[in-house]
A and B are shown apart, each in its own frame.
Chain A
């Protein structure tokens, strides 16, 4: 059974500092997704990582994928308050387009 683990589950960040959050998964995967969710809202697609070594950047966020280690990282540069949200990673094994989600990491940026 595929398991997706994210850690830490909660992260208090100081404005202006850099942070990295992690997503580990237990079996071979075709694709890895990062989503952002604001309270009471839907999931907003951030990145889709399709292959080993893939790196994608959008603004202050950069995601990378190491399929050999079954690990994806989301790096945050110079955190700002607008980045406060819950971030989910999800893995697609290609079987039926099912995404298996991690529990999510709630980021809170303080001044």
Chain B
């Protein structure tokens, strides 16, 4: 089954404790992105990647890092989480083509205390 998976789905952590949210897709998509969703602000792109070893900032990259060492994986790293990073995070993948459909993962709800 074609899908985007994220882990963990829920995480409560404390300020400053480094964490990684993993994202994996099995559709051989070149493009992958991270978004955060906040009430009243909608979804905003954090980082994106157009292929292996090619990443760039989205609209709200501060406080986040990413890497793309393999095509299927695109982890989101918070080196020193802060409470303002409490949010719902979505990974998405996409391959330009006939349908241009973008697929979203199930989401990771992060709380930073």
Residue ranges of A at the interface with B (Cβ–Cβ < 8 Å): 31, 33, 35, 41-43, 45, 48, 50, 88, 90, 92, 96-104
Contacts and interface: CB of A to CB of B under 8 A. Distances in A.
A98 B45 contact: yes
Interface of B: 31, 33, 35, 40-45, 48, 50, 56, 58-59, 90, 92, 94, 96, 99-107
B48 A48 contact: no
Contacts of A98: 33, 45, 48, 58-59
**Chain A at the B interface: mostly helix, strand, loop or mixed?**
strand
Q: Which 5 A-B pairs have the closest CB atoms?
A: A97-B31, A101-B43, A43-B104, A101-B42, A103-B42
22 contacts: A33-B102, A35-B104, A41-B106, A42-B104, A42-B105, A43-B43, A43-B104, A45-B101, A45-B103, A50-B100, A96-B50, A97-B48, A97-B50, A97-B94, A99-B35, A99-B43, A99-B45, A99-B92, A100-B45, A101-B43, A102-B42, A103-B42
